[in-house]
Amino acid sequence: MTEQAFFILTALVGAPRHGYGIVGEVAGLSGGRVRLKVGTLYGVLDRLAGDGLVELDREEVEQGRLRRYYRLTDSGGAALTAEAQRQAANARAASDRLHGWRPAGQGGVS
C-alpha cells in the first residue's frame, strides 16, 4: 500500500469525507508533510473503491457544487489496521538496529 492510499484511508476513519475535504484532512493528520494532489487523489480513490476498501457514501449538492462522499468499508478498516501494524514493525526493526549499532565496536554488548 502506498503512503497516499494509507493516508486517504486514515482520513476516512470515523466519518465519510468528500475528495477535496480529504486533501485537507490528510495534510492535517500528516503534519503538513503529505500534500495530496488532485491528480493523485481521484486515481487512488478509484483504485481503493475497486479494491473494496472504500465506497461511495452519498452525493450532496451544496451551494451548486457537487460533493461526493466516500466511506471506509470494513475491509478497508482491516487493511488499514494491518498496514499500520506493519509500518510500526518496520520502523521498530530499523530503530532497534540503529540504536544497537556500536561504531567500530570492539567491545561486546553491555
CA distance 44 to 100: 38
Name the segment binding DNA (CB under 7 A); options: 41-49, 73-81, 92-100, 102-110: 41-49
CA distance 33 to 42: 19
Strands (E), 19-109: 54-62, 65-72
Applying CB under 8 A, among 35, 37, 58, 92 the residue interacting with a copy of itself is 92
Q: Which residues contact 29 (CB under 8 A, 6 or more apart)?
A: 7, 10, 11
Name the segment binding a copy of itself (CB under 8 A); options: 29-37, 44-52, 59-67: 29-37
Binders of DNA among residues 42 to 101 (CB under 7 A) are 42-44, 47, 62-68
* Separation of CA 81 from chain center: 10
Q: How far is the CB of 30 from DNA (least distance, A)?
A: 11
CA dihedral 89, 93, 94, 96 (to 10 degrees): 130
- Is position 3 an interface residue for a copy of itself (rule: CB under 8 A)? yes
Q: Which residues bind DNA (CB under 7 A)?
A: 2-5, 18-21, 36-40, 42-44, 47, 62-68
Q: Which residues bind a copy of itself (CB under 8 A)?
A: 3, 6-7, 9-10, 13-14, 29-31, 33, 71, 73-74, 77, 80-81, 83-95, 97-98, 100-101, 103, 105-106
